[in-house]
Amino acid sequence: MFDGSPTEISGLVRPGRVHRRVYTDPAIFELEMERIFGRAWIYVGHASQVPAPGDYVTTRIGRQPVILCRHRDGGLHVLFNRCSHRGAKVCVLASGNTKRFECMYHGWSYDTDGRLLGVPVPEGAQAGFDLADSGLRPVPRVASYRGFVFANCAEDGLSFDDYIGPMTPNIDDLVDRAPAGELLFDAGVHRYVFPGNWKLQIENALDSYHVPSSHASTVNEKGEQFARREGDETGAAVVDRNRTSDAWKGRRSFVVGAAGHGWTSNTALDESGRSSPVFYGYKAALAEAVGETRANEILTPRFHNSLLYPSITVMGLNVHVRVIHPLAVDRTEVHVYPLRYKGAPDAMNQRNIRLLNVTHSAASFVQTDDMEAFARTQAGLASLAEEWVDISRGLGDERPGRDRNVTEGSAMHELVMRQQYAAWLSYMCKAG
């Protein structure tokens, strides 16, 4: 039986391989909820989703329901979405605006900073009952960077600065593309549930090796869908006309710090779309806001896709943010947010959103391929024929990068997965 001891957990990860149980064992999943999602900084939403007092969105930290809301003083609060009376969720909508959260069960009502405002029939309360002690519990630590709000269920541990610090250039890379310097998460969300473990999605996000085969119909010049998408009236072709699977071999992947973060690089931003009038209009707006030189710098492709472990990817190529919500050991929900650049011409924002519809909507060509790969992987891992999953590509070929203390390797290797499992071990092996 799994006992959760550091010895047993560390036995699940070996150089270049990981035990199948990390994807299939419910006891390991339970421990991940406690030791990773209960201790790591978890992305809970973006400030632009709650711009006005009373605005809120509901989400989860691991499986715990939480509310991100803006109080009337302008402050952001992250509250456990659990009534202090008998435990009901007090807010069930995905988003909205409210003066107070009122629990439907017995009617306790809470202010948007979590304070308990009142209870029905107060004279029935136990002697000494104090409203001030019975508010919605706040998530212990909350911090944000350029609108990205994170919360941490642990009172102490890795500081937010240490968590986010190594990845701020990657976030800046995307946010700076907005002429007004802000991203807007106000263009809806694509939601998926797949029958597989949550780690399959975070491993995949920076896995260039799967692209030529999983997404053959999109990226190979002979792929059927590739041909059909040319001539999109927005000028947005998904991939460069000349891009073949060979082109993916030149990409690099990078990992940084001990927290499991990484990114892939060396892929140009949608080159074919860059010669469109829409792009020129956008570039002019950006140059007007930040100057020609800075605009050129911002639009020089650097970071392709970035992962902030354990649950958010910031995707520069087809502009979006993806948030991974574990539901069970073999069930995961993914939210894909299209982004708008504040201050950019509508045509440019529409073009980005349309591009994401092609690549990541439910009727898309790309994300749906990945969902199929995850389902097949989870199904295959039910086999007891082999205990180990191979993540050894490029083992030993990693080398220090030029700056930012990174380690880099070919994006066709599995450096990123090995780094994620190093972080996984460091969270999972700490008891208490």
Binding site for ligand FES (CB under 6 A): 83, 85-88, 103, 105-108
| Residue 108 interacting partner from ligand FES, Fe ion, none (CB closer than 5 to 8 Å by kind) | ligand FES
Number of other residues whose CB lies within 10 A of the CB of residue 119: 18
Compute φ and ψ for 409, nearest 5 degrees.
Answer: -160, 180
| Residue 75 interacting partner from Fe ion, ligand FES, none (CB closer than 5 to 8 Å by kind) | none
d(CA 432, CA 254): 32
d(CA 43, CA 60): 9
The smaller minimum CB distance to ligand FES, of residues 47 and 91, is found at 91
| Residue 342 interacting partner from ligand FES, Fe ion, none (CB closer than 5 to 8 Å by kind) | none
Of 45, 8, 254, the closest CA to residue 139 belongs to: 45
Residue with tokens 């929900």: 333
Compute φ and ψ for 116, nearest 5 degrees.
Answer: -75, 120
The smaller minimum CB distance to Fe ion, of residues 112 and 201, is found at 201
The smaller minimum CB distance to ligand FES, of residues 82 and 340, is found at 82
d(CA 301, CA 205): 18
The smaller minimum CB distance to ligand FES, of residues 88 and 395, is found at 88
* Cα→Cα distances 155→11, 36, 283, Å: 29, 14, 44
Which residues on neighbouring strands pair with residue 341, listed in sequence order?
A: 183
- As measured in angstroms, the least distance from the Cβ of 271 to Fe ion is 20
- As measured in angstroms, the least distance from the Cβ of 214 to Fe ion is 5
- As measured in angstroms, the least distance from the Cβ of 361 to Fe ion is 14
- As measured in angstroms, the least distance from the Cβ of 329 to ligand FES is 29
Q: In the chain, what's the furthest Cα-to-Cα distance?
A: 76
Does residue 414 touch Fe ion according to CB under 5 A? no
Question: Dihedral, CA atoms, 422, 428, 431, 432, nearest 10 degrees?
Answer: 120
The smaller minimum CB distance to Fe ion, of residues 176 and 369, is found at 369
| Residue 88 interacting partner from Fe ion, ligand FES, none (CB closer than 5 to 8 Å by kind) | ligand FES
Instruction: Using DSSP, state whether 424 is helix, strand or coil.
Output: helix
Structure tokens at 8: 């047993």
d(CA 223, CA 336): 25
The smaller minimum CB distance to ligand FES, of residues 105 and 388, is found at 105
Residue with tokens 């009142």: 118
Question: Dihedral, CA atoms, 13, 159, 320, 56, nearest 10 degrees?
Answer: 120
- As measured in angstroms, the least distance from the Cβ of 90 to ligand FES is 7
Neighbour order of strands in the sheet with 141-145:
42-46, 148-152, 141-145
| Residue 370 interacting partner from Fe ion, ligand FES, none (CB closer than 5 to 8 Å by kind) | Fe ion
Does residue 270 touch Fe ion according to CB under 5 A? no
| Residue 404 interacting partner from Fe ion, ligand FES, none (CB closer than 5 to 8 Å by kind) | none
| Residue 303 interacting partner from ligand FES, Fe ion, none (CB closer than 5 to 8 Å by kind) | none
By the 10 Å C-beta count (0-12 exposed, 13-18 middle, 19+ buried), 126 is classed as exposed
- Given a contact cutoff of 8 angstroms between Cβ atoms, the answer to whether 154 and 126 are in contact is no
The smaller minimum CB distance to ligand FES, of residues 136 and 298, is found at 136
- As measured in angstroms, the least distance from the Cβ of 207 to ligand FES is 44
For Fe ion (CB under 5 A), the number of binding residues is 1
- As measured in angstroms, the least distance from the Cβ of 80 to ligand FES is 13
| Residue 430 interacting partner from ligand FES, Fe ion, none (CB closer than 5 to 8 Å by kind) | none
- Scan residues 330-389 and list those touching Fe ion (CB under 5 A): 370
- Scan residues 273-292 and list those touching Fe ion (CB under 5 A): none
- As measured in angstroms, the least distance from the Cβ of 109 to ligand FES is 9
Residue type for position 244:
T
- As measured in angstroms, the least distance from the Cβ of 200 to Fe ion is 11
Residues that bind Fe ion (CB under 5 A): 370
